[in-house]
Amino acid sequence: MHTTMHLIVVVSGSVPDLGMREAERVLGCDVERVGRRVGLIELEGARLRSALAKLYECVYIQEILLGKAWTDHPRPEASFYYELGCSSEWSEVIGKTFAISVRKIGGFPSTPSTELIASVAKAVHSACNGQCNVNLTNPDVHIRLICASDAAVIGIQMLRPRGDRFRLRSNKFKVFKHPASLTPEDARLLVNLAGDPELLLDPFCGTGTVLAEAALKGIEAVGLDVSTEAARGCWSNMKLFSVDALCSVIVGDARRPPFRQESFDAISTDPPYGRLATTRGAGVQTLQKCLLSLSSSIVKRSGFTVFMRPKEYSSQLHFDGLGIVEEYSVYVHGGLTRVVCLLSKH
Ligand SMILES: C[S@@+](CC[C@H](N)C(=O)[O-])C[C@H]1O[C@@H](n2cnc3c(N)ncnc32)[C@H](O)[C@@H]1O
């Protein structure tokens, strides 16, 4: 017998659409949007562990709960949350200790009161017929409330990924560094959006940030860079991160790619913008167009091409006939807003 479970994800408020899409791409299933920052995923119980492992690696996911979300006029009152507590299932808590923590996101009008938390504790206690106790210091079960203006979430906290989990692969720790390198978080996002490829290409690999993130997910990754120094440095970084067994690095020009038609499942890359990273005299738009032509030639029909570009070049790219394009604007700093592009051929 299959049990259906409901995972609730809370994504970063910076680009919630992108966070939802990232979760969909890593899981290969739909995420139902139940609030600006809250998504609901229905999955078979047997898939729970693998889904949690995949979601933990998502850059934009801030926390994951097993529980319920209400979107029908959530009220910020203790009585409303008491009703939610009473209508939830708490068999997991019977015979155990629990603590309740609360988080306010997205326009919730006030700081959630201790009365609100106490009312949920009362609901849980009565649902378990008194066979559970509060333990704030070392509880068996963490119950979590997410209070938003457009959604109320109540459930058992499964994961709260650490914000610094990619830090050890940041530029600072590489043997070959470059100021135009992506952060490991950005690189991981590009890889996650590519879905589940077996073989991935970064045709502008630089220090290899994308290759390392791909290889750490078990994806075989090929890097191309026109600079011999960059390709050598990239290889040193792959060895440093112990991912060299899954990576290859080639010196070559993306405008004359040394690859056969449809030889890759996906491309994830950040072409140079001509600011910190050289375009070797080629125009930025030329390299962006070269990327689109790579996408149509060397990526398999089912594959995705994921890349970033500065927002100011948005109007100069034409995707006609290349497939479906999704675009997400990501503010980086005053001088740079990037557009993350996701191009699928069908
Ligand atoms: C923005 S950097 C890539 C940074 C990389 N994602 C990282 O995290 O280190 C762009 C790279 O593209 C390379 N490049 C420039 N023109 C190229 C071309 N025509 N073909 C291949 N690589 C090229 C540059 O040498 C540079 O290393």
What's the gap in Å between 54 CA and the centre of ligand 1? 28
For position 1, what pLDDT does the model report?
A: 61
Query: Residue 117 corresponds to which tokens in the numbers above?
Result: 């938390």
Burial, 16: exposed, middle or buried (Cβ in 10 Å; 0-12, 13-18, 19+)?
A: buried
Mutate to test the pocket of ligand 1, among 178, 213, 225, 259 (most ligand atoms within 8 A of CB): 225
What's the gap in Å between 217 CA and the centre of ligand 1? 22
Residues 333 and 311 grouped into a single domain: yes
Residues 20 and 143 grouped into a single domain: yes
Residues 335 and 226 grouped into a single domain: yes
Query: Residue 47 corresponds to which tokens in the numbers above?
Result: 């898939």
Residues 102 and 179 grouped into a single domain: no
Residues 38 and 114 grouped into a single domain: yes
d(CA 54, CA 33): 19
> The domain containing residue 44 runs over which residues?
4-159
For position 107, what pLDDT does the model report?
A: 75
Residues 181 and 242 grouped into a single domain: yes
Question: Kind of pairing, strands 141-147 and 96-104?
Answer: parallel
Domain count within the chain = 2
Contact status, residue 11 vs residue 62, Cβ threshold 8 Å: yes
**From its phi and psi, is residue 32 left (phi > 0), alpha (psi between -120 and 50) or beta?**
beta
pLDDT, block means (10 residues), the chain with 346 residues: 89 97 97 96 94 96 95 84 92 96 84 88 95 96 93 94 94 95 97 97 98 98 97 98 98 95 97 73 78 92 93 68 86 90 87
Q: What is the CATH number of the domain that holds 246?
A: 3.40.50.150
For position 327, what pLDDT does the model report?
A: 94
Q: Domain boundary at 159, 192, 227, which?
A: 159
Query: Residue 222 corresponds to which tokens in the numbers above?
Result: 């090929």
What's the gap in Å between 252 CA and the centre of ligand 1? 10
Residues 192 and 325 grouped into a single domain: yes
Query: Residue 10 corresponds to which tokens in the numbers above?
Result: 């809370």
Which residues' Cβ are closer than 6 Å to ligand 1? 178, 180-182, 203-204, 206-207, 209-210, 224-227, 230, 253-255, 270, 272, 277-280, 282
Q: What is the CATH number of the domain that holds 51?
A: 3.30.2130.30
Instruction: Locate the ligand 1 atom nearest the alpha carbon of residue 273 and give its number.
Output: 1
Q: Domain boundary at 130, 159, 188, which?
A: 159
d(CA 29, CA 319): 26
Q: Domain boundary at 159, 190, 216, which?
A: 159
Write down the pTM of the prediction: 0.93
Other CB atoms within a 10 A radius of the CB of residue 341 amount to 21
